[in-house]
């Protein structure tokens, strides 16, 4: 889903394909399907016609890296087996992604035929879509929880895996979180299905939850541990759960009631989030000197919480 533009960063090496991966050999024509094993899960990739063998090889590394980032964040890949359909598009770059729950959960990606390693490095969409696989289907009116988790955890997972630097993540949060503020006529997260409230209002919910869970656990546990609890309880995109059940399962995993309480507080509230004060606490300070628009300060009162989010 289109959520934002991401700044280009230098490519980072370090992704290794597993031995059972088959890469299409030039001269044989492009392979149409590939299988990856990531953290014990099986990913079946189906490629459209029109991709060169070289581009398919790059795409395999990218899928491997995205799946590893998600598995690193959640302690496992969300499902034991999933299909990734890679459709060809004109131009370059990862252009669109969608996660579908039926008939079995799968991810569909539109990929430009002229994409380069840099385009794969700059992509956030695939990690975002894979994170959807970790959350049960919810009623449409509460899609903010799905999109919020995918929007928030995508960047955190990529920092944790070494894909992007923490400075980039916090710069993106600093620019993005204001888009989740209530606008005139807002009736709270559960009753305001606008783009801003769905993606960034949901991400605000996750950021607040992560900070609170970390503070209440002495920095031992965070939102990712809560989300791991949902997976452990059998919650993923193959099933449909009420939001209250997802949040209760997540809370149980960290021995708190943070998520259920926060939902009660925000579900019908049009109160804006006090972002300025949170940035000050976390040590995310605006500066015109940096390309990211921010600098990270370790002398802020809750800078240890900020560091724990991506540690
Ligand atoms: Zn999404």
CATH code (residue 44): 3.30.2010
Model pLDDT, residue 8: 27
Lowest-pLDDT choice from 45-54, 182-191, 222-231: 45-54
Q: What distance in angstroms lies between residue 199's CA and the mean position of ligand 1's atoms?
A: 8
Q: What distance in angstroms lies between residue 304's CA and the mean position of ligand 1's atoms?
A: 29
* Number of domains making up the chain: 2
Mean pLDDT, to the nearest integer, of 125-145? 97
Mean pLDDT, to the nearest integer, of 228-236? 98
Model pLDDT, residue 13: 25
Q: What distance in angstroms lies between residue 162's CA and the mean position of ligand 1's atoms?
A: 22
What are the backbone angles phi and psi of residue 106, rounded to the nearest 5°? -150, 165
Question: 120 and 67, same structural domain?
Answer: yes
Model pLDDT, residue 50: 86
What confidence category does residue 32 fall into, taking pLDDT thresholds of 50, 70 and 90?
confident
Asked if residue 19 is part of any domain, the answer here is: no
Q: What distance in angstroms lies between residue 214's CA and the mean position of ligand 1's atoms?
A: 25
Model pLDDT, residue 31: 56
Q: What distance in angstroms lies between residue 252's CA and the mean position of ligand 1's atoms?
A: 25
Question: 258 and 156, same structural domain?
Answer: yes
Question: 170 and 292, same structural domain?
Answer: yes
Q: What distance in angstroms lies between residue 200's CA and the mean position of ligand 1's atoms?
A: 11
Question: 301 and 173, same structural domain?
Answer: yes
Mean pLDDT, to the nearest integer, of 34-45? 96
Question: 114 and 39, same structural domain?
Answer: yes
Q: What distance in angstroms lies between residue 1's CA and the mean position of ligand 1's atoms?
A: 5
Mean pLDDT, to the nearest integer, of 166-178? 98
Q: What is the pLDDT of residues 260-282, one digit of tens each?
A: 999 999 999 999 999 999 999 99
Q: What is the pTM of this model?
A: 0.90
Percent pLDDT > 70 in the chain is 90
Model pLDDT, residue 307: 98
Q: What is the pLDDT of residues 199-224, one digit of tens each?
A: 999 999 999 999 999 999 999 999 99
Contacts (Cβ under 8 Å, ≥6 apart) of 203: 147, 148, 151, 152, 173, 176, 177, 180
Question: 297 and 151, same structural domain?
Answer: yes
Q: What distance in angstroms lies between residue 118's CA and the mean position of ligand 1's atoms?
A: 22
């Amino acid at each position: 889903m289109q959520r934002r533009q991401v700044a280009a960063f230098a490519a980072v090496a370090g992704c290794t394909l597993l031995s059972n991966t088959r890469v299409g050999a030039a001269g044989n024509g492009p392979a149409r399907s590939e299988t990856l094993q990531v953290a014990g899960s099986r990913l079946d990739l189906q490629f459209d016609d029109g991709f060169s063998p070289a581009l398919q090889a790059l795409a395999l590394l990218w899928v491997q890296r995205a799946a590893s980032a998600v598995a690193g964040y959640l302690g496992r890949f969300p499902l034991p087996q999933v299909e990734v359909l890679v459709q060809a598009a004109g131009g370059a770059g990862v252009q669109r992604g969608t996660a579908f729950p039926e008939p079995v959960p799968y991810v569909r990606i539109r990929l430009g035929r002229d994409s380069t390693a840099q385009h794969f490095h700059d992509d956030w969409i695939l990690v975002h879509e894979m994170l959807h696989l970790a959350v049960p289907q919810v009623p449409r009116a509460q899609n903010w929880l799905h999109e919020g988790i995918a929007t928030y955890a995508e960047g955190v997972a990529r920092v944790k895996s070494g894909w992007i630097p923490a400075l980039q993540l916090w710069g993106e949060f600093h620019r993005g979180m204001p888009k989740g503020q209530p606008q005139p006529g807002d009736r709270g997260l559960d009753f305001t299905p606008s783009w801003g409230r769905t993606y960034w209002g949901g991400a605000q919910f996750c950021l607040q939850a992560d900070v609170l869970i970390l503070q209440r656990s002495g920095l031992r546990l965070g939102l990712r541990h809560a989300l791991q609890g949902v997976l452990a309880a059998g919650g993923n995109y193959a099933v449909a759960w009420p939001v209250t059940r997802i949040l209760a399962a997540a809370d149980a995993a960290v021995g708190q009631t943070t998520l259920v309480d926060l939902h009660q507080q925000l579900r019908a509230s049009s109160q804006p989030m006090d972002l300025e004060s949170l940035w000050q606490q976390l040590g995310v300070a605006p500066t015109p000197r940096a390309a990211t628009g921010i600098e990270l300060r370790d002398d802020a009162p809750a800078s240890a919480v900020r560091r724990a989010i991506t540690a």
